[in-house]
A and B are shown apart, each in its own frame.
Chain A
Amino acid sequence: MAPAPSSTNSAVTLNINGEKHTLTVDHRTTLLDALRERLDLTGTKKGCDQGQCGACTVLLDGRRAVSCLQLAVAAEGREITTIEGVAQGEKLHPVQQAFLDLDGYQCGYCTPGQICSAIAVIEEHAAGWPSAATDDVRPAAAPPPLTPEEIRERMSGNLCRCGAYVSIVQAVARAAGIETEAAQTEGVETEGAAA
């Protein structure tokens, strides 16, 4: 239910996946809850609501962030991309396609967060950002290759309780154009059942 305007709520315009949404939010409402409860954008998941699991990862101004600790009112003016805005129409984003092809999930609940995070990981790496897995962070050192170890460290803010990490890492690597250990994909039939 939408709150009435008062000193503890505000009318905001949120720019989500290129579309503007104007709504009145209780200041307490997080971006995550605004997406899920108010805008019917339920692809962004609530796993812990405390910044401890990464399921609610979205892109804010192109950078990954946990939407559970982002107040909706404070997100005004920022460019918000959710899992719903990642594909180009019917064509999946390469990260989405790799998750699908390599079974980079099980229950699927952490998946939108993993995918949003992975998209950003590939961009952060391309921008030359080091990670905690990078041996030498000095700019004089060559930028680290995106090894499985680098992917694991950079993706560690996204918990997957089903334990699909191995295939998630393979999917991120494939989307980044790197082949890792035994990505078991030979002879995989693609999705498809009667609608």
Chain B
Amino acid sequence: MREFTYQRALDVSGAVALLDADPDARFLGGGTNLVDLMKTGVERPAQLVDVRELPLDHIEVTGDGGLRIGATVTNSDLAAHPEVRGRYPALAQAVLAGASGQLRNMATIGGNLLQRTRCGYFADVTKPCNKRVPGSGCPAATGEHHNHAILGASEHCVATHPSDMGVALAAFDAVITYETIDGPGELPLAEFYLPVGDTPHLETALPPGALITGVTLPPAPVAAHSRYRKVRERASYAFAIGSIAAALDARDGVVRDVRLAFGAVASHPWRARTAERALVGAPADAAAFAAAADAELAAAKPLPHNGYKVTLMRNLVVAVLTELAEEAAR
């Protein structure tokens, strides 16, 4: 870890100004990802701008019944908030499925969206990685990849995005708000993460120097009947090998509205729109759920050792939607 200067930002405009002056600067939120990456040498900033104490730590119900979540709200506060748990239970569950109690107390919503992949090649500076050192190569495709992407990846990078929270945000059409030196802006989550292509090092559409100020969730009655399920290689405190955020509105055995997003299968939280389209108006039964999953996963391009994720995601879609349908029928 090289030496760096440290400044604590007092307000949003000051934070943005500080970062804008220095391309080698980084915002420091909870530090749960950045400080680790600095220790492993993946990140070597010359300046840290601490934004943890910015007044962005509120969760508010918006006038239309959605939610506005400040960027420095911690994962813990998000998951414990009654409005989150009541209106978007899958979001609370997703956050609770991530990391540990300690890390959730530290990690912020803004940082969670910007966390880097947990690909072991990316995290190890002694190995090649196109995301870390563009053009150095991706050893995963021919090396260890049993927990790498099956959707939306490219030959240049098959890393996955590790966020659980992001999967639920993707399902609920979150919009990211940010501030730059030129003023505020916003990006729907669907446009927030860039396609991998041949530029895996470019991860988000945030303008350079932008500070995430919050996340807005539009109202979504269907979200009240939602669930997050995460499969991992131990029962807790591990990243997903496959996860799903699902919401279902089924009446009289017919799907009225549905939301589906997948985690740990792509470079970003994967909104399963193909499956959603196939389901609206379809019977709320296992056969329809399976067919929708298959439609979504038809685009999957598994590697030799991660083909199980296709089966896993199909099974998760069927299992979780079936549970939600049974609950709705009760």
Contacts and interface: CB of A to CB of B under 8 A. Distances in A.
**A–B: direct contact at CB < 8 Å:** yes
B135 interface: no
Given A50-B39, A139-B82, A27 B4 contact: yes
Nearest to A66: B102
Contact of A129 (B48, B76, B89, B93): B76
B275 interface: no
Interface residues of B, number: 40
Contact of A63 (B5, B76, B237): B76
Nearest to B32: A69
A54 B100 contact: yes
Interface string A68-90: 11110110000000000000000
A7 B47 CA distance: 10
A172 interface: no
B3 interface: yes
A98 interface: no
A60 B30 CA distance: 12
Contact of A71 (B3, B35, B85, B97): B35
Contact of B105 (A60, A136, A154): A60
A131 B76 CA distance: 10
Contacts of A130: 79-80, 85, 92, 96
Contacts of A140: 86
Question: Which of B6, B30, B36 counts the most A-chain CB atoms under 10 A from its CB?
Answer: B6
B101 interface: yes
Contacts of B28: 71, 74
Nearest to B3: A8
A64 B105 contact: yes
Interface in B89-147: 89, 92-93, 96-97, 99-103, 105-106
Interface in B13-53: 28, 30-32, 35-36, 38-40, 48, 50, 52
A91 interface: no
A95 interface: no
Contacts of B52: 74
B8 interface: yes
B93 A117 contact: no
Given A74-B28, A137-B93, A157-B100, A128 B36 contact: no
Nearest to B106: A65
Contact of B237 (A70, A124, A157): A157
Contacts of B40: 50
B31 A74 contact: yes
Given A74-B28, A137-B85, A137-B92, A117 B102 contact: yes
Contacts of B237: 156-157, 159
Nearest to B30: A69
B36 A50 contact: yes
Interface residues of A, number: 46
A103 interface: no
A47 interface: no
B236 interface: yes
B89 to A, nearest CB: 5
A27 B3 contact: yes
Given A65-B102, A71-B28, A129-B76, A139 B36 contact: no
Given A54-B100, A71-B35, A129-B80, A138 B85 contact: yes
A194 interface: no
A37 interface: no
Nearest to B50: A74
| B1, B86, B101 — most chain A CB neighbours (10 Å) | B101
B48 A27 contact: yes
Interface of A: 7-8, 10, 26-28, 30, 49-51, 54, 57, 60, 63-66, 68-71, 73-74, 117, 120-121, 124, 127-132, 134, 136-140, 152-154, 156-159
Return the 8 tightest CB-CB contacts between A and B, nearest first: A157-B100, A156-B236, A8-B3, A139-B82, A156-B237, A132-B96, A63-B105, A69-B35
Interface of B: 1, 3-6, 8, 28, 30-32, 35-36, 38-40, 48, 50, 52, 76, 79-80, 82, 85-86, 89, 92-93, 96-97, 99-103, 105-106, 230, 235-237
